[in-house]
Amino acid sequence: MQLETLKGIVPACLATLAPQESIYCEHGIMLYKDSTVGVGRKTIQSGGTFGAVKRSTVGGIPFFLAEFTGPGSVAFSRDGVGEIRDITLAPGEVLDVAEGSLLCAENRIPYDMFYVSGTHRPGRMVGFWMDRLTGPGSIALHGFGNVISMTLAPQEKVTCDYGALLFKSGSVQAKSLNLPFGGGLLGHLEAYEVLELIGPGKVALQSIDPKKPHT
């Protein structure tokens, strides 16, 4: 499988597949494909039917994944400006990807997902889902806006807006917390919900929160 980035204001990823090679993606992000490329359905096994329904209703993620089988080419695109990152995962390497960011992944890459809990304050952050992908294999991600990459040392921390996280290594911990605006009761009541990322591992942030409206 070959992945090529088609650059532009809204970039796309072009995947070229040999016979019997296949990839998967979220349903509804295909831009175009060759007539020789077959289309199928890949059921999400993790968490069973109840887990998939919960993720679809609460997280807004499709109930199933779309699968494309070569030979031929197929292109994928997200609805937003940004950058595409092609990543090759080593055997056993785990990458956690923010929901709504995966463009495509080789079919041999196991797919899982998990939920990052929010702070549970009334009217505050309720959490979000992340895709968990395990190598070996190649994947393509869409980062909204500009993508900023860094590597955290063991126990090194970085704090970010929860919508800024694009991906992290499986070894990086992510937990939500309240960041007070100054001291006193008022500062705690007006606390800002953020993510704390704790190394070791790789982290990539995106400069646009895809869930917030933009003008």
Q: Say what the pLDDT of residue 191 is.
A: 67
56-81 burial code (b ≥16 CB/10 A, e <16): eeebebbebbbbbbbebbbbbbbebe
Residue 38 CA to residue 46 CA, distance in Å, equals: 24
- Residue 215: which residues within 8 A CB-CB, separation 6 or more? none
96: which strand partners?
A: 132, 168
Q: Look at residue 211 and tell me if it is in a domain.
A: no
Question: Strand 157-160 and strand 192-198: pairing?
Answer: antiparallel
82-102 burial code (b ≥16 CB/10 A, e <16): bbbbbbebeeebbbbbbbbbb
Q: Look at residue 212 and tell me if it is in a domain.
A: no
Q: Say what the pLDDT of residue 185 is.
A: 63
Q: Where are the alpha helices (DSSP H) in 1-151?
A: 48-59
Q: Say what the pLDDT of residue 27 is.
A: 85
- Residue with the larger pLDDT of the pair 140 and 123: 140
Domain holding 44: CATH number? 3.60.160.10
Q: Look at residue 118 and tell me if it is in a domain.
A: yes
147-172 mean pLDDT = 96
Q: Do 133 and 139 form a contact (C-beta atoms < 8 A)?
A: yes
Q: Look at residue 57 and tell me if it is in a domain.
A: yes
Q: Look at residue 214 and tell me if it is in a domain.
A: no
- Residue with the larger pLDDT of the pair 184 and 92: 92
How many other C-beta atoms lie within 10 A of the C-beta of residue 154?
9
* Strand, coil or helix: 141: strand
42: pLDDT strictly greater than 90: no
Quote the number of domains for the chain.
Answer: 1
Q: Do 135 and 109 form a contact (C-beta atoms < 8 A)?
A: yes
Q: Do 172 and 212 form a contact (C-beta atoms < 8 A)?
A: no
Q: Look at residue 124 and tell me if it is in a domain.
A: yes
Please, which pLDDT band fits residue 194 given cuts at 50, 70 and 90? Answer: confident
| Domain extent for 73 | 2-206
Q: Look at residue 148 and tell me if it is in a domain.
A: yes
- Residue with the larger pLDDT of the pair 185 and 132: 132
DSSP string, 176-192: EEEE-SSSHHHHHHTPE
